Structure formats: C-alpha cells, structure tokens
C-alpha cells in the first residue's frame, strides 16, 4: 500500500478512500483530517495503482478523490477510463476552477465521476461529497447482493456469463460513461440498458428508447432532434425529438448500426457540443443525456467498411458490454422457462404443473437463434396449446431439434480441420507449401488431410500476365 493507512480506523471498519494525486507529500498531509473522520486513506499516483488497490478488494465500496490539479497529461487522463469504471467506486474529481475549460477534464468528470469539487475546499465539504460518493457505491453493492439470487433488476439468470454481465452493469450504473451493448437479437440488451438507467443517479428522469433500425431514414432526423412548427409541409406544431425528451435521463439508441451516415454526423455533433438544434429551428438547445447504444450487428466491421463513423464509434463505445447468447447460458434456460411459465400460466385453460423431461431436453438442445425473446414466446404459446398437465417438447414446437443428435467431438474436430485448411488454401491462393507452413504440419500430412476431407488442391495462381496486342 502506498501512502498512509489508519490501522485503527481500518479495524473499526472505516470507509475506504483512494486519493489519486501526483502532488507532493503536502497534498496527502492536507487530507490528514479525513482519517480522524473515519476514512481509510490510500494514495495512488496512477491508474495502475488504483486497479491494484481494487483488485485486492473489488467488492468493497470505495470513494475516490481524483486530484487533477497537477501532473496529469491528456494521455494519463485517457488511460484512466478502465480504472474509473472498475470496482464499486464513487469517484469525485478535484480540480482548480480553470480546468473546467479543458475538454478532456470535462469529459472525464461527465463520464465517470459522481461529482467534482474545486480544490482546496473546506474539509467538511470534502467529507460530505466523498461521503455521498461512498454512499452511492455502497448502495450499488447492496443491490448487487440482494439481487444475486434473482438476477440484476429483473434480469433472470445466474450463469457465469450473466453474473459477469450483471457485475459490469452495476459498475456502469455508477458512472456517466456512454455504454455500448453488443449481443444477438433478443438477448436482453434493452433490459440491460434499463437496468443501468434505473441504478444510475439519473433514475428519477426519463429513459427514452429509439430503435434506429425501425424508423425510415427520411424520418430519423426529426425523430431524434424534433422540429419547429412549419419546418416542413405537415409540421403543424412543434415536436420534441427523443434526445430532448430524454433530457436529464438516459437515451437508448437501439440498433445504432442502422443509423444513416447523415444522422451519424448530427449525433456526433450533439455528443461533442451537448446541444441540439430542432429541424427548422435556429436556436441551440442544451441537452444533458447519458447515451446507451446497442446493436446485434458487428459494429467493428461496419467501421472497417466505412458504414459507421469511427469517431462516433469511439464516442459511443466507452464502456463495452457483451450480452451472452442464450445457448451459452446453461441452467439459465430452465430458470427463464420457469419464469415464463409462471408469468403466463393464467393465459392457459388448464393448470400446468411444469415441463415434461422431453421439453427440458428440447429446451437445452435448441439453438435459440431468437434468444430469450424466442424462449418466452415459445413457452407462452405452449401454455395456451398444451393439452396435458406438463408442457411437452411438441408443445414448444422444437421436437425436430431432438431428432438431430448433437455432433460428436470427432465430428466437431473434423469440421474445424476442414474449415481451417479451406481458409488457408484460399488465403495462400492454393500454394500447398505455404498452407502447410501456416497450419504447422508437414506437406505429407497436409496431403493426407486434404484427401480425407475430399479437398482438392486447385492450381496455384500465377501473377497476372500482361497481354500486349
């Protein structure tokens, strides 16, 4: 541990305070009074030291004071992201007033901090503000413990993948950083976004969702930014856009990958300026929203292919979460099925007792391309259609998957080998020497494998020949 620690206070179960500073010993001494107030003070000069402290005790709530008055370059600030979103920490930035004009400092405060203070300030003020930050971090921990059985904020699931996700969601709720949720359709991205909002300090303000993929391109600008009366034919009165409706709260941009390039530029401008202009309006309107975005498309690929702006991508993907597909969530499938049965049981005409063994087996052999949404819909339909006391695989309409047995390990290995050789042949334009080298096998082995998998070596490509007429 760097710096000081009041062991007496620690024994009393004092509150943890991380003090991040590049200032001299005097800075730390100036906070000495806080130890008497029950703070266990630990000094960290950089992001790595913060992570080291949190790794030791990641579940415990901490307050942290990030004293930005001296010694931090822009690069240092950029590197703080991971540390500022780790653990259960309520961050408070300490700055001198002029620093509020510096956009890296403003961004850091807005995205990650519970509050900020201009330093120096009276000890009582400091104690109150970091006390509140610590209180918020403690609340997040309590929620975590209380909901570990039933999932996070209504999200059913206790699989390792869901536990990891819920831990990350709780941390995300403690910050203001833009969150990007990736995941297949129906995995619960919107539910996760609502959970972050409800557990954030914006919870008393609106949560506004917009599905960028479901709105015609010609209407998306007016949906997002609103319009003034007379802005276009048919605009008979002023209409607020979704961004403005979400003021002080959270805006959930679903299927962000479908946002047309024109709207991407306008959204980026809004994120940079913190203000919007309604269509047909001339006034800049300041709007304060936290952005959570999601998509089931591969956004990295969309950036690489020029369909999504890289600068907007970096603005949106500060905290990146991955929503696991249902097929990777093991016993969560049973829990979700039981939950859906309980929820919709009154819709059926007879009292159902649960799932027959064949239904349980079917639930686990199905690939769930539509994930949780598909599972809920199938159970709901089965509740209505079931004729016995137990829901069967046939009631769920997934019996066909039972007739296809899952692949054996040998089959999986064979398929992977064949695919790897095919890809390498393609990459190396059929040159077997290079394919063998790339795959780490001898040429003889490669021939043998190709024969076994029915692969033919096509003619290696020769350089283009120039024909002169």
Ligand X SMILES: Nc1ncnc2c1ncn2[C@@H]1O[C@H](COP(=O)(O)OP(=O)(O)OP(=O)(O)O)[C@@H](O)[C@H]1O
Smallest separation, CB 345 to ligand X (Å) = 16
Closer residue to ligand X, CB minimum distance, 376 or 396: 376
Closer residue to ligand X, CB minimum distance, 23 or 206: 206
Closer residue to ligand X, CB minimum distance, 87 or 183: 183
Give the Cα separation of 251 and 243 in Å (integer).
7
What 3-state DSSP class applies to 435?
Answer: helix
The binding site for ligand X (CB under 6 A) comprises 151, 155-157, 183, 185-191, 254, 296, 372-373, 376
Shortest-Cβ-distance residue relative to ligand X: 188
Burial of 118 (0-12, 13-18, 19+ CB in 10 A): middle
Characterise 443 by phi-psi region: left (phi > 0), alpha (psi -120 to 50), beta (else): alpha
Smallest separation, CB 147 to ligand X (Å) = 12
Closer residue to ligand X, CB minimum distance, 327 or 431: 327
Both tokens of 235, joined, read 């605009």
Smallest separation, CB 59 to ligand X (Å) = 22
Give the Cα separation of 22 and 25 in Å (integer).
9
Closer residue to ligand X, CB minimum distance, 157 or 178: 157
Token pair 């290696």 is at which residue? 460
Smallest separation, CB 324 to ligand X (Å) = 10
Cβ neighbours of residue 283 closer than 8 Å, sequence gap 6 or more? 277
Smallest separation, CB 294 to ligand X (Å) = 6
User: Is-contact 180 317, C-beta < 8 A?
Assistant: yes
Smallest separation, CB 211 to ligand X (Å) = 7
The one-character DSSP state at 114 is S
The one-character DSSP state at 24 is -
The one-character DSSP state at 278 is -
Q: Show the DSSP H helices in 32-73 as ranges.
A: 32-36, 47-56
Smallest separation, CB 402 to ligand X (Å) = 24
Give the Cα separation of 330 and 364 in Å (integer).
8
User: Is-contact 399 410, C-beta < 8 A?
Assistant: no
Smallest separation, CB 152 to ligand X (Å) = 9
Smallest separation, CB 362 to ligand X (Å) = 19
Give the Cα separation of 287 and 116 in Å (integer).
20
Q: Torsion angle, CA of 95/20/176/150, rounded to 10 degrees?
A: -150
Cβ neighbours of residue 277 closer than 8 Å, sequence gap 6 or more? 225, 283, 284, 285
Smallest separation, CB 313 to ligand X (Å) = 18
Closer residue to ligand X, CB minimum distance, 5 or 185: 185
* Strands 179-182 and 319-322, bridge-based pairing: parallel
Closer residue to ligand X, CB minimum distance, 64 or 192: 192
C-alpha of 48 from chain center = 22
Closer residue to ligand X, CB minimum distance, 321 or 372: 372
Nearest to 181 by CA among 342, 316, 321: 321
Burial of 85 (0-12, 13-18, 19+ CB in 10 A): buried
User: Is-contact 364 336, C-beta < 8 A?
Assistant: no
Smallest separation, CB 252 to ligand X (Å) = 9
Closer residue to ligand X, CB minimum distance, 77 or 256: 256
Closer residue to ligand X, CB minimum distance, 189 or 278: 189
Closer residue to ligand X, CB minimum distance, 91 or 339: 339
- What is the rounded end-to-end Cα distance, in angstroms, of the chain? 79
Closer residue to ligand X, CB minimum distance, 106 or 163: 163
Smallest separation, CB 353 to ligand X (Å) = 22
Give the Cα separation of 192 and 358 in Å (integer).
31
């Amino acid at each position: 541990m760097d710096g000081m620690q009041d062991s007496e206070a620690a024994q009393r179960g004092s509150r943890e305070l991380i003090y991040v500073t590049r200032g001299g010993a005097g800075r730390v001494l100036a906070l000495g009074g806080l130890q008497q107030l029950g703070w266990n003070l630990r000094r960290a000069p950089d992001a790595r030291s913060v992570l080291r402290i949190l790794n030791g005790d990641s579940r415990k709530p901490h307050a942290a004071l990030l004293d930005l008055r001296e010694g931090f370059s822009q690069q240092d600030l950029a590197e703080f992201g991971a540390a500022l979103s780790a653990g259960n920490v309520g961050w408070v930035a300490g700055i001198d007033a002029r620093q509020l004009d510096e956009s890296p400092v403003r961004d850091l405060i807005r995205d990650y901090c519970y509050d900020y203070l201009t330093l120096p300030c009276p000890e009582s003020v400091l104690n109150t503000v970091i006390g509140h930050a610590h209180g918020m971090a403690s609340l997040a921990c309590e929620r975590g413990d209380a909901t570990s059985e039933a999932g996070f904020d209504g999200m059913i699931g206790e699989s390792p993948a869901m536990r990891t996700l819920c831990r990350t969601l709780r941390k995300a709720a403690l910050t203001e950083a833009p969150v990007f949720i990736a995941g297949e359709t129906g995995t619960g991205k919107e539910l996760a976004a609502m959970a972050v909002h409800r557990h954030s300090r914006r919870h008393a303000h609106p949560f506004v969702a917009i599905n960028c993929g479901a709105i015609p391109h010609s209407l998306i600008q007016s949906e997002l930014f609103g319009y003034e009366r007379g802005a276009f034919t048919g605009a008979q009165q002023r209409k607020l856009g979704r961004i403005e409706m979400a003021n002080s709260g959270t805006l959930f941009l679903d299927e962000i990958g479908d946002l047309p390039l024109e709207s991407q530029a306008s959204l980026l401008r809004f994120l940079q300026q913190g203000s919007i202009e309604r269509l047909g309006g001339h006034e800049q309107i300041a709007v304060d929203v936290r952005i959570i975005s999601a998509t089931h498309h591969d956004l990295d690929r969309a950036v690489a292919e020029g369909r999504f702006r890289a600068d907007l991508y970096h603005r949106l993907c500060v905290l990146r979460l991955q929503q696991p597909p249902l097929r990777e969530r093991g016993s969560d499938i049973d829990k979700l099925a039981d939950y859906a049965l309980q929820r919709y049981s009154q819709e059926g005409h007879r009292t159902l007792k649960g799932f027959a063994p064949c239904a349980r087996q079917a639930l686990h052999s199905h690939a769930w391309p539509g994930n949780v949404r598909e599972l809920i819909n199938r159970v709901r339909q089965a509740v209505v259609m079931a004729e016995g006391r137990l829901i069967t695989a046939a009631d769920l309409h997934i019996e066909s998957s039972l007739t296809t047995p899952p692949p054996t390990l040998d089959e999986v290995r064979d398929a992977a080998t064949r695919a790897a050789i095919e890809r390498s042949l393609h990459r190396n334009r059929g040159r077997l020497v290079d394919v063998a080298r790339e795959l780490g096998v001898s040429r003889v082995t490669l021939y043998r494998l190709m024969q076994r998998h029915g692969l033919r070596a096509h003619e290696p490509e020769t350089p283009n020949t120039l024909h002169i007429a």
